[in-house]
A and B are shown apart, each in its own frame.
Chain A
């Protein structure tokens, strides 16, 4: 039997796509890299995924898992061909209020989980800006972050267990509600592995109680450095706010032009801070943050006093990437991360690089984590611009690594950054990671040519003009 007919025998005719126009829709994620899938499948449970894995192994074709396709590092682009496994049909949510956990299908949309948990005064902490589109499976694969991971950690800290299909089609349930499962922490290795070690079909997530009170502060500054120094000073003061986000002037102007939400457009930088907890605690913490901001030359400190006001501020922040479509058809984004104490000097260097290459750069990022998102808006139809964009990107990465940072804070390596892995790790480090991959996936069928620098490359940087959807990741 052919690959497609075998898959259809298991999944049904409708759940396996093979028409060229259908394949094209699943040929890339939100990155700039396109692949060519052999077929696209929509399994409904782990047993069906296990069958797909067995069939893929027999036919020796790759399997690429895909949630909503909001990833920015080509992790879900089938660059080596093969079967795309779309997880969206696995969308159950089963909340255990007493234990503050939920078993969640890989295809559940991040925001839908918190909406479902809301009536129980619970929420799921990781909140990438794409949360209205991205899936839990994608969050697990990328160890996703988001503004509120500053105090609560990234996705890995919120995955207590998982149902995963491993090599050979073995279905394993790892971890659980009880703390400290015995043996090696396999799920800890799988979270963030970008679909290269197996396919997670359901996740057992931690839900946090909604805090009794919240204060959101919007502060604007005469220079980006003043804002960045405020971030460093807040952390140094021993405060870990729930979120600490920075937007530069160009980004504020783009967002304001699009949403008209009242962002200051005359200041060089805006800082968004949020503190949660008991009322007495949030009041004193908000006061302290305001004081630190004023010490660092803040013009205004605006404290959101209504939920509506707060929602507007966050909408401004999370819509940032959608606003860029006004400026240029494409953007190129890095998410290098640096120690928070090196933020000021790193930002200075990043602006200098953009100026030197004569590129339009906007910044909106998770300042509290030291996670940069320098974004270059450009038109990819001009090869000369592409070259400059690429070179600037490489220099930005080099600056971050020199400051003691790392390649990616939350977007992942995928195919986009795998050839830069040697700048972050030694040969022995990479060899150890390859050994980990080998132990999980001896046949090499799970999302090959991702994360680790090996194999062939398929990069269509020039041909990726596109519209930017609302709420695209970051």
Chain B
């Protein structure tokens, strides 16, 4: 059964009701990250689409408080009018802000502007036993109390239903350019480019700053540039992957991808998004990724045929205890996290 609550009080009541009766709930944003993990079929699907209000946007403070169900694309369009950005995925599709935070997905600009977890200032959630809890604050720097809000990033809703988040915004300067280079190493002449991305078609450096700064940088990279930032699209296929390796091994990882895979690599970060027609060859790739301290996460595919997460992370028992403290009946997105939590 699907439900689409409109208020915090509704969600509180729904979660409490489900917790008391052991009904499992799949919390759903735009459905863009539903391929992660191997959740069983839930008793209820709770769509957050109506929790999409912008509570407070303080342009002069570079912060926003927004409902979890708000679409990334919609909010970015609003912020663009004041030359600001959430620094969330550039091609978000239907993704919601709550979904991006819960899945811990980041922008391609993360090498310079940091990952989503570093931009979350405050989270309000309804815990698995139906309590409204707020962590963090609406200020850009804060060490008041434990960072439950950081723990909620990438937790796939296991601690609570994310209701709203306060995010640190970033200004988007007017100068921007995309420069094609022959190989990623050439980007080293720029101390901190916005992004260096590689696909099967091209290696491109993305620059942003004042007009003069961007032109000077483009000049140093060879001079052939296009104005603006034309972000590549994520690879699409029957199976999709997120390969995470130490940044210096990004190029090495690409040489290991089977030829029929498509990919988008974020140099300097070590994140490679890839798509494949089958899971053939994935075992070897995962073994390699894990041997160098990385991971290979299946983001779309058949969890029956291939383990979506791979080797469980350290501190698994502690993770179980934590989740049990917040969702004692384990009703919110059970089975989504590594280790079957």
| B104 in contact with A183 (CB, 8 Å) | no
Interface residues of A in 413-444 (CB under 8 A from B): 413, 421, 424-426, 428-433, 435-440
Beyond A183-B316, A209-B191, 17 additional pairs, beta carbon < 8 A: A178-B294, A179-B106, A181-B244, A185-B155, A191-B147, A277-B213, A284-B213, A338-B139, A340-B60, A370-B61, A405-B137, A405-B139, A421-B144, A424-B137, A425-B145, A432-B131, A439-B325
Which residues of A sit under 8 angstroms from B192, Cβ to Cβ? 208-209, 211, 277
Interface-central residue, A145, A212, A436, by most chain B CB under 10 Å: A436
- Chain A residue, CB-CB nearest to B266: A179
- Beta-carbon contacts of A83-103 to B below 8 Å, as 1s and 0s? 000000000000010111100
- Cα A181 to Cα B292 with chains together (Å): 13
- Cα A213 to Cα B293 with chains together (Å): 34
- Beta-carbon contacts of A329-371 to B below 8 Å, as 1s and 0s? 0000000011111000000000000000000000000100111
Interface residues of B in 203-256 (CB under 8 A from A): 209-210, 212-213, 215-217, 242, 244-248
Any A CB within 8 A of the CB of B80: no
- Chain B residue, CB-CB nearest to A343: B61
Interface residues of B in 293-341 (CB under 8 A from A): 293-295, 297, 309-310, 312-316, 318-319, 321-326, 337-339, 341
Give the residue of A208, A278, A280, A451 whose beta carbon is less than 8 angstroms from that of B145: A451
Q: Would you give the shortest CB distance from B25 to chain A, in whole angstroms?
A: 19
| A180 in contact with B106 (CB, 8 Å) | yes
Which residues of B sit under 8 angstroms from A371, Cβ to Cβ? 141
Any B CB within 8 A of the CB of A281: yes
| A281 in contact with B210 (CB, 8 Å) | yes
Q: Would you give the shortest CB distance from A20 to chain B, in whole angstroms?
A: 34
| B170 in contact with A240 (CB, 8 Å) | yes
Interface-central residue, B132, B192, B271, B310, by most chain A CB under 10 Å: B192
- Chain A residue, CB-CB nearest to B119: A153
| B315 in contact with A370 (CB, 8 Å) | no
| Stretch in contact with the other chain, from B68-76, B110-118, B277-285 | B110-118
Q: Would you give the shortest CB distance from B176 to chain A, in whole angstroms?
A: 13
| A183 in contact with B134 (CB, 8 Å) | no
Give the residue of B118, B139, B245, B323 whose beta carbon is less than 8 angstroms from that of A153: B118
Interface residues of A in 161-191 (CB under 8 A from B): 166, 172-174, 176-186, 188-189, 191
| B142 in contact with A277 (CB, 8 Å) | no
Give the residue of B158, B171, B173, B246 whose beta carbon is less than 8 angstroms from that of A184: B158
Which residues of A sit under 8 angstroms from B322, Cβ to Cβ? 184, 436, 439-440
Q: Would you give the shortest CB distance from A219 to chain B, in whole angstroms?
A: 20
Q: Would you give the shortest CB distance from B210 to chain A, in whole angstroms?
A: 5
Any A CB within 8 A of the CB of B58: yes
Which residues of A sit under 8 angstroms from B212, Cβ to Cβ? 280-281, 283-284
Give the residue of B83, B145, B155, B313 whose beta carbon is less than 8 angstroms from that of A238: B83
Question: Assuming A439-B318, A440-B318, is B244 touching A180 (CB within 8 A)?
Answer: yes
Give the residue of B141, B143, B172, B319 whose beta carbon is less than 8 angstroms from that of A186: B319
Any B CB within 8 A of the CB of A380: no
| B61 in contact with A339 (CB, 8 Å) | yes
| B60 in contact with A370 (CB, 8 Å) | no
Question: Assuming A211-B191, A440-B318, is B138 touching A404 (CB within 8 A)?
Answer: yes
Give the residue of A188, A279, A411 whose beta carbon is less than 8 angstroms from that of B143: A411
- Cα A244 to Cα B55 with chains together (Å): 28
**Range of interface residues on chain B?**
35 or more
- Beta-carbon contacts of A237-272 to B below 8 Å, as 1s and 0s? 011100000000000000000000000000000000
Give the residue of A181, A189, A210 whose beta carbon is less than 8 angstroms from that of B151: A189
| A177 in contact with B154 (CB, 8 Å) | no
| A100 in contact with B247 (CB, 8 Å) | yes
Any A CB within 8 A of the CB of B59: yes
| B146 in contact with A240 (CB, 8 Å) | no
Any A CB within 8 A of the CB of B2: no
Any A CB within 8 A of the CB of B148: yes
Which residues of B sit under 8 angstroms from A172, Cβ to Cβ? 314-315, 318
Any B CB within 8 A of the CB of A192: yes
| B247 in contact with A278 (CB, 8 Å) | no
Which residues of B sit under 8 angstroms from A439, Cβ to Cβ? 318, 321-322, 324-325
- Cα A179 to Cα B245 with chains together (Å): 7
- Cα A173 to Cα B313 with chains together (Å): 10
Give the residue of B139, B172, B337 whose beta carbon is less than 8 angstroms from that of A370: B139
- Chain A residue, CB-CB nearest to B322: A439
- Cα A188 to Cα B155 with chains together (Å): 12
Give the residue of A142, A212, A369 whose beta carbon is less than 8 angstroms from that of B191: A212
Which residues of A sit under 8 angstroms from B62, Cβ to Cβ? 235, 240, 340
| A278 in contact with B61 (CB, 8 Å) | no
Give the residue of A143, A176, A235, A433 whose beta carbon is less than 8 angstroms from that of B60: A235
| A182 in contact with B142 (CB, 8 Å) | no
| A183 in contact with B319 (CB, 8 Å) | yes
Any B CB within 8 A of the CB of A285: yes
Any A CB within 8 A of the CB of B269: yes
- Beta-carbon contacts of B90-109 to A below 8 Å, as 1s and 0s? 00000000000000101000
| B150 in contact with A435 (CB, 8 Å) | no
- Cα A142 to Cα B142 with chains together (Å): 10
Any A CB within 8 A of the CB of B34: no
| B60 in contact with A236 (CB, 8 Å) | yes
Can you list 19 A-B contacts (CB < 8 A)?
A178-B292, A183-B312, A185-B104, A186-B151, A209-B191, A210-B191, A211-B192, A240-B170, A281-B209, A339-B58, A341-B60, A408-B144, A410-B143, A413-B144, A426-B134, A428-B131, A436-B325, A439-B318, A440-B318
Any A CB within 8 A of the CB of B135: yes
Which residues of A sit under 8 angstroms from B171, Cβ to Cβ? 238-240
- Chain B residue, CB-CB nearest to A404: B138
Which residues of A sit under 8 angstroms from B242, Cβ to Cβ? 180
| A436 in contact with B60 (CB, 8 Å) | no
Give the residue of A188, A239, A406 whose beta carbon is less than 8 angstroms from that of B137: A406
- Beta-carbon contacts of A430-469 to B below 8 Å, as 1s and 0s? 1111011111100000000001100000000000000000
Which residues of B sit under 8 angstroms from A218, Cβ to Cβ? none
Any A CB within 8 A of the CB of B199: no
